[in-house]
């Protein structure tokens, strides 16, 4: 058998080199495509999780805004609702950049809003607590004929007031820790229990809390 000539050996080397070269190129292309798909999937999942988080916060602020009477809160809530509507529109038909920008805008807006709202809610729920305590003292001074209240009703009213105060104190702790979202939830509960105490005591709601009573007290 004749041995390959030097020219034939060089030809094989060139062909083999080209094969490995193209193999590396195609491998890099395949890896790039796969990585892009993984990144796209992770980005989509990340967007959904972030949107789910802001949606829950908007929902809570909406509930709070409809429970407390404040023109500033209403104005702030309208801005948040507009940003939320823009985010929902972008989520359905917007580009990746539009989705990212609208989500980032709402994420930047919510923390400051929740901080302002928790400060307002703390003051508002505390004011109602003081009103309930004062009215309860006056109620005890009145005669049973003028304002009859059974022992069971008095006990329920006291329990509601106690729970209202506990929720308010817990809300203060979370607000000091910077968890304004949960502080808002607790202040709302405090508001509800204070109003429930007034209802059981057969006492009228303060004018500024009537809207909240209609929504929170069944």
Per-residue pLDDT reduced to its tens digit, 98-108: 888 888 899 99
The C-alpha atoms of residue 190 and residue 128 are separated, in whole angstroms, by 9
The C-alpha atoms of residue 123 and residue 183 are separated, in whole angstroms, by 12
The C-alpha atoms of residue 212 and residue 191 are separated, in whole angstroms, by 8
The C-alpha atoms of residue 139 and residue 196 are separated, in whole angstroms, by 16
Residue 200 has pLDDT above 60, yes or no: yes
Q: Is the dihedral of CA 122, 123, 124, 130 positive or negative?
A: positive
* 36-90 pLDDT per residue, tens: 443 444 344 588 888 888 998 898 888 887 777 777 888 888 899 999 999 888 8
Which pLDDT value is given to residue 56? 87
Q: Are 168 and 186 in contact (CB under 8 A)?
A: yes
What number of residues does the chain have? 218
**Distances, alpha carbon 8 to alpha carbons 14, 169, 184, in Å:** 10, 90, 82
For residue 93, name the pLDDT band (cuts at 50, 70, 90): confident
Q: Alpha carbon 35 to chain centroid distance? A: 32
pTM metric for this prediction: 0.72
Which pLDDT value is given to residue 149? 79
For residue 4, name the pLDDT band (cuts at 50, 70, 90): low
For residue 206, name the pLDDT band (cuts at 50, 70, 90): very high
Residue 26 has pLDDT above 90, yes or no: no
* Tokens matching residue 208: 């500024």
Residue 27 has pLDDT above 70, yes or no: no
The C-alpha atoms of residue 52 and residue 69 are separated, in whole angstroms, by 27
């Amino acid at each position: 058998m004749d041995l390959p000539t030097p020219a034939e050996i060089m030809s094989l080397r060139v062909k083999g080199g080209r094969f490995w070269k193209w193999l590396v190129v195609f491998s890099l292309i395949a890896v790039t495509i796969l990585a892009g798909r993984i990144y796209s999937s992770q980005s989509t999942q990340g967007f959904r999780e972030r949107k789910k988080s802001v949606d829950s916060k908007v929902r809570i602020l909406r509930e709070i805004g409809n429970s407390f009477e404040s023109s500033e809160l209403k104005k702030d809530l309208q801005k948040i609702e507009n940003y939320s509507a823009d985010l929902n529109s972008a989520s359905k038909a917007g580009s990746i950049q539009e989705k990212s920008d609208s989500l980032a805008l709402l994420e930047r807006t919510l923390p400051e809003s929740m901080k302002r709202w928790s400060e307002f809610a703390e003051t508002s729920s505390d004011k109602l607590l003081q009103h309930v305590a004062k009215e309860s003292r006056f109620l005890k001074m009145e005669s049973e004929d003028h304002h009859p209240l059974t022992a069971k009703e008095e006990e329920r009213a006291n329990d509601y007031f106690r729970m209202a105060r506990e929720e308010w104190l817990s809300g203060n702790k979370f607000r000091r820790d910077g968890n304004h979202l949960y502080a808002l939830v607790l202040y709302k509960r405090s508001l509800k229990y204070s109003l429930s105490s007034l209802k059981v005591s057969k006492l009228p709601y303060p004018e500024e809390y009537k809207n909240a009573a209609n929504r929170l007290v069944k």
